[in-house]
Amino acid sequence: MSGKIRIVGAASGLGAQDRGCADGPVAFHRSQAWHELQGHPRLDWGPLLFAADAQAGSEMARIASFCRRLADEVTRVRLAGDFPLIIGGDHSIAVGTWSGVARSVGAPLGLLWIDAHLDSHTPQTSYSGAVHGMPLACLLGRGDKRLLKLGLAGVQISAAHTVALGPRSYEAEEMAFLRAQGVRIIDSGEIAARGFAACLHEAQTIVAAAPAGFGLTLDLDVIDPDNAPGVGSPEPDGLWDGDVLAALARLATLPGLLAVEIAEYNPDRDRQGRTARLMAELISEMLPGLVDRFQG
C-alpha cells in the first residue's frame, strides 16, 4: 500500500428509529476534534455519501441503494491502495462497508463486531423493524434480499472468523441465529468475568486467522454513555473508553486489518462534543499502527 488512510463519510440514518446519526459524518468533519487531527500527512477526508430522499423509493430500497454506493466507494478506495476508515451513520451502513471490502479481496472476511447490540435480526424476527438491527445477519447471508450479495455472490464474512464483542442488549432470536452460524459471542457478562484484555486477545486471534484478512466495526454505543453520550441507541453499563482506545491501538497494528468502521455517532445527543472528541482520540490511537502498513 502506498496511499493514505481515507475517510469515507456514510451519512445515513435510514436504518435507525432516531435519524440523527445521518448528521454524524458532517458534524464530525466540522468539529474542533477533527480540525486538530486533519494535519496528519497520511489522513485524508475523502468522499461523503448521503442517503437518497423519500422520493427515491421505500426505506428498504433507499438503504439498499446507499449500501451499494458505499460498497462501490470502499472497493475503489482499497483498489487505489488506500486504507478505508468509514465514519457513520447508523450501523446499517455496515452492509455496504464490508460488502465492498469483501469484493476488493474476493473472499469472505473475518470481522470483529464491537457493539452493545448483536444487530442480527431479520425482517421476520425484528421487534422494531429498524434495519440497523439487521446488518450482521445480512453479511452472513440472512435478511432482505436487497441487502444481500452486494459484494460477493454468497456471504460477505466468514462466521468462523467473526466475533461479536461487548453486546449487552439483544434478543434470543439474534443469539440463536449467530450461535447456529458459529459466530463467537463474548458478551458483557463474560467480559466482566474474564477481563477485557483476555476477551480481546481471544477475539483478535479468531478474526486475524481469516485467510482473506479481517475488518473492525465499532458501534460507539458499546462504550458507556457517560463517556460517549452522542450515540443513536445508548445502553447503560458499557465498556470503559480507555479499554476501547487501547483495543483499537492494538488492532491497528495487525497486518491483516483491511478497514475500520465507526458507526452510530449522533451529534444531536452529544453533550459538549464529548463523543466527537472521543472519536478523534480513537482515530489518533489507531494512526501509528495504520501508518506503519504504508512504510517501505
Mean pLDDT value of segment 5-24: 96
The residue segments making up the domain with residue 220 are: 5-292
Mean pLDDT value of segment 264-273: 96
What total of structural domains would you count in the chain?
1
Digit-coded pLDDT (tens) for 165-196: 999 999 999 999 999 999 999 999 999 999 99
Q: Three-state secondary structure along the chain?
A: CCCCEEEEEEECCCCCCCHHHHHHHHHHHHCHHHHHHCCCCCEEEEEEEECCCHHHCCHHHHHHHHHHHHHHHHHHHHHCCCEEEEEECCHHHHHHHHHHHHHHHCCCEEEEEECCCCCCCCCCCCCCCCHHHCHHHHHCCCCCHHHCCCCCCCCCEEEEEEEEECCCCCCHHHHHHHHHHCCEEECHHHHHHHCHHHHHHHHHHHHHCCCCCEEEEEEHHHECCCCCCCECCCCCCCECHHHHHHHHHHHCCCCCEEEEEEECECHHHCHHHHHHHHHHHHHHHHHHHHHHCCCC
Is the per-residue pLDDT at 2 higher than 70? no
Digit-coded pLDDT (tens) for 79-106: 999 999 999 999 999 999 999 999 999 9
Q: What is the pLDDT of residue 72?
A: 98
The residues with which 200 forms a beta bridge, in sequence order, are: none
Q: In CATH, what number is assigned to the domain containing residue 273?
A: 3.40.800.10
Q: What is the pLDDT of residue 23?
A: 97
Digit-coded pLDDT (tens) for 225-247: 999 999 999 999 999 999 999 99
Q: How many Cβ atoms are within 10 Å of 235's Cβ, its own excluded?
A: 18
Q: What is the mean pLDDT of the chain?
A: 96
Lowest mean pLDDT among 56-65, 234-243, 267-276: 56-65
